[in-house]
Amino acid sequence: MSNTPGKRLPAQVVADDTKAFHALATIEGYTPHDPELKLEVITATFDELVADQAGLIRAQVALDAARDKLAHTEHRAHQKMLGAKDSVCSQYGDDSNEYAALGMKKKSERKKGGNKPKPPEA
């Protein structure tokens, strides 16, 4: 089994740990037996936590900006293609192979609207 956690901790757990860390820093004479639990080591870990949280926020801001730019570019490209389809229709006609090559249905291939038979009256 891996030591790497699969999910993030709930925000409340992190907030509680942060409060406890600040309280621990006020305790005079704290000398644990485990060297990994010394205040200096815990402080370094919390410094890393703050840096990682800031990095995540920067990455989220960059992702939001990239998503907005992509959406804008998609809309611009779509508008250009709508214009190109109209232009091809104007130049070659709506029953041409060129028009169909753009994924449009030829006028001659469309279903003709007709009168639907009336249902029999009962």
Residue 78 buriedness (CB in 10 A; 0-12 / 13-18 / 19+): exposed
For residue 109, tell me if it sits in a domain: no
- Token pair 């992509």: residue: 70
**pLDDT on residue 62:** 98
For residue 118, tell me if it sits in a domain: no
For residue 111, tell me if it sits in a domain: no
The Cα 117–Cα 107 span in angstroms is 24
The predicted model scores a pTM of: 0.66
For residue 116, tell me if it sits in a domain: no
From first to last of its 122 residues, what are the pLDDT tens digits of the chain?
Answer: 557 788 999 999 999 999 999 999 999 999 999 999 999 999 999 999 999 999 999 999 999 999 999 999 999 999 999 999 999 999 999 999 999 999 999 988 887 766 677 777 76
For residue 69, tell me if it sits in a domain: yes
The Cα 116–Cα 113 span in angstroms is 9
**pLDDT on residue 2:** 59
Q: Report residue 82 CA to chain centroid gap.
A: 26
**pLDDT on residue 92:** 95
For residue 120, tell me if it sits in a domain: no
For residue 31, tell me if it sits in a domain: yes
Domain of residue 58 covers 11-104
How many structural domains compose the chain? 1
Those residues with Cβ within 8 angstroms of residue 39's Cβ, 6 or more apart along the chain or in another chain: 24, 25, 30
Tokens representing 84 are: 């190109």
For residue 44, tell me if it sits in a domain: yes
